[in-house]
């Protein structure tokens, strides 16, 4: 008869940890006693044998937590469960000093070996929520710009702009101050602050300052990593940002790295802490068509191209790191001070900067490639959410900021859509009239394309969702792919070519 006792679960968890080299065999008794303490137990049958086959660590974790909930050691609420999960998985997580030692030891062998091992640890110890991430819905769409990718995020709720603003206002005296601060490493967690007992950060020197390298617990793509400042300082995209991004792809040539614009509306969800996002993934933007080459005066070693993309992108390429850095800095400085009333672009409003850039760096062989995406966060009475933000008619699908990841061609759509799109499908099939009010007009438009079949209606809805995301991207573009838009882009480009 199979032994389902909590003692057996403890035995199996520790044995699996040893078998996978996450627990040293000399630490076996310590590990057992650690789990006994977590579960408020004071006795254990030392003669228990491991199950054959050994269950997965995460399966054993579920049973350990289930026991704690059943015995009312923790409340059956997400925050308390996540704290206990992280504390249990800390048992298979080396101390930060050991993680850093191993990382740089592996780095001496190969940069990819270092990131592979660190990424695997963060998956094994459940810091990266692989099971929750697997619930996300993914589908590609075809567009005139090439393939785009859509993700309905079911692993982590996306923050609304009011929530982001409330978080910024709530700072001051809080510990950790924000979700990216290094003080999160090993933090137990509490209401409003995530459980991070099993969280580890690799120290990374950049431009004479201390930074950290970690993975995102809710990865949106392969090896989704963060590089964050040791200091809690707000985002400020400047010449140092460009230098840092190029340094990072020198250290990790197999990764891309990018920075959100440092202004609200056009920036990401976290603007209060300087950070970049990267990983090992090929985004649709990489394959964008080239409209034409540009001549950047004073930078003969730098190739420059204008890309066919919903947003306004200048791509730079060179094997000379300093040259490409200086060329990007020249574009940034010119754009920050550039106004074009004809295109509703103003460098400032009420003394506040409105022009910024989203930056993406990668290596192509020995060359450095840097995409400079022009952004503007101006508003008008007609577009209070932003002239170059998703307009009202697409906000029922994508209301959140068009940040770095969306610029690259990957939509991160809110979890509410899973239920809401199913309701739209039922409406189109005549099963139900229950459609969210925000989708009612859209659903009526789609119904004109009927009749629909049950096995294909969702595919059609997904294509329509993709069209809405594409529109949101186009709304965010300061210069549209129209004759008028490209004429405006040319006006700005002439200021670069004639410097």
Question: What's the token pair of residue 145?
Answer: 């710009």
Q: What is the pLDDT of residue 1?
A: 39
Tell me, yes or no, whether 429 lies in a domain: no
Number of Cβ within 10 Å of residue 292's Cβ equals 10
Residues 36 and 141 in one domain: no
Tell me, yes or no, whether 436 lies in a domain: no
pLDDT tens-digit map of 455-499: 999 999 999 999 999 999 999 999 999 999 999 999 999 998 776
Tell me, yes or no, whether 426 lies in a domain: no
Distance CA 14, CA 161 (A): 44
Tell me, yes or no, whether 427 lies in a domain: no
Residues 317 and 365 in one domain: yes
Residues 46 and 148 in one domain: no
- Average confidence score pLDDT of the chain: 94
Residues 256 and 316 in one domain: yes
Residues 111 and 144 in one domain: no
Alpha helices in 170-259 (DSSP H): 239-251
Domain that holds residue 116: 97-125
Q: What is the pLDDT of residue 2?
A: 52
Q: What is the pLDDT of residue 451?
A: 92
Q: What is the CA radius of gyration of the chain?
A: 25
Environment class of 338 (CB within 10 Å of its CB; exposed 0-12, middle 13-18, buried 19+)? middle
Q: What is the pLDDT of residue 497?
A: 75
pTM of the model: 0.93
Tell me, yes or no, whether 417 lies in a domain: no
Residues 228 and 319 in one domain: yes
Domain count along the chain: 3
Q: What is the pLDDT of residue 118?
A: 98
Tell me, yes or no, whether 448 lies in a domain: no
Residues 274 and 373 in one domain: yes
17, 19, 23, 25 alpha-carbon torsion, rounded to 10°? 130
Residues 401 and 268 in one domain: yes
Tell me, yes or no, whether 443 lies in a domain: no
Judge whether 193 and 213 are in contact, CB under 8 Å. no
Residues 243 and 376 in one domain: yes
Q: What is the pLDDT of residue 74?
A: 96
Distance CA 197, CA 330 (A): 43
Q: Sort residue 394 into left (φ over 0), alpha (ψ -120 to 50) or beta.
A: alpha
Which whole-number Å values give the CA distances from 482 to 72, 326, 408, in the listed order? 63, 30, 21
DSSP three-state, residue 226: strand
Residues 66 and 186 in one domain: no
Tell me, yes or no, whether 453 lies in a domain: no
Q: Which CATH number belongs to the domain containing residue 257 in this structure?
A: 3.30.428
Q: In the chain, which stretches have pLDDT less than 50? A: 1, 163-164, 168, 170-172
Residues 41 and 143 in one domain: no
Residues 105 and 88 in one domain: no
């Amino acid at each position: 008869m199979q032994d389902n006792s909590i003692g057996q679960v403890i035995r199996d968890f520790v044995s699996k940890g040893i078998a996978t080299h996450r627990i040293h065999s000399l630490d076996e008794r310590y590990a057992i006693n650690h789990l006994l303490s977590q579960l408020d137990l004071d006795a254990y049958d030392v003669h228990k044998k491991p199950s054959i086959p050994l269950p997965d660590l995460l399966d054993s974790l579920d049973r350990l937590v289930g026991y704690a909930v059943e015995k009312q050691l923790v409340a059956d609420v997400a925050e308390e469960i996540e704290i206990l999960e992280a504390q249990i998985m800390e048992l298979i997580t080396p101390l930060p000093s050991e993680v850093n030692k191993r990382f740089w030891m592996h780095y001496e062998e190969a940069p990819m070996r270092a990131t592979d091992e660190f990424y695997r640890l963060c998956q094994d110890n459940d810091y990266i929520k692989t099971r929750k991430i697997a619930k996300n819905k993914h589908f590609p769409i075809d567009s005139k710009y090439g393939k785009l990718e859509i993700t309905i995020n079911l692993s982590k709720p996306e923050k609304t702009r009011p929530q982001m603003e409330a978080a910024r206002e709530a700072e001051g005296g809080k510990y950790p101050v924000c979700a990216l601060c290094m003080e999160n490493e090993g933090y137990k967690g509490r209401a409003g602050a995530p459980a991070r007992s099993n969280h580890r950060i690799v120290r990374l020197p950049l431009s004479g300052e201390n930074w950290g390298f970690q993975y995102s617990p809710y990865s949106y793509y392969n090896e989704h990593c963060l590089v964050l400042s040791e200091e809690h300082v707000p985002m400020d995209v400047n010449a140092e940002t460009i230098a840092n991004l190029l340094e990072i792809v020198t250290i990790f040539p197999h990764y891309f790295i990018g920075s959100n614009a440092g202004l609200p509306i056009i920036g990401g969800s976290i603007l209060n802490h300087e950070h970049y996002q990267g990983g090992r993934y090929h985004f649709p933007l990489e394959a964008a068509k080239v409209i034409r080459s540009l001549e950047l005066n004073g930078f003969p070693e730098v190739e420059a191209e204008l890309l066919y993309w919903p947003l306004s992108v200048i791509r730079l390429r060179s094997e000379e790191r300093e040259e490409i850095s200086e060329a990007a800095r020249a574009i940034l400085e010119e754009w920050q001070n550039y106004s074009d009333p004809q295109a509703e672009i103003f460098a400032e409003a009420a003394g506040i900067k409105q022009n910024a850039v989203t930056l993406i760096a990668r290596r192509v062989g020995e060359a450095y490639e840097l995409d400079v995406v022009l952004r503007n966060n101006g508003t008008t009475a007609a577009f209070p959410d932003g002239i170059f933000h998703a307009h009202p008619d697409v906000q029922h699908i994508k209301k959140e900021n068009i940040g770095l990841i969306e610029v690259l061609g990957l939509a991160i759509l809110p979890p509410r859509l899973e239920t809401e799109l199913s309701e739209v499908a039922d409406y189109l099939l005549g099963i139900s009239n229950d459609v969210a009010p925000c989708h009612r007009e859209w659903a009526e438009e789609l119904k004109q394309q009927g009749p629909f079949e049950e096995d294909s209606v969702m595919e059609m809805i997904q294509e329509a969702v993709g069209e809405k995301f594409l529109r949101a991207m186009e709304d965010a573009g300061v210069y549209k792919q129209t004759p008028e838009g490209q004429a405006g882009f040319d006006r700005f480009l002439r200021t670069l070519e004639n410097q």
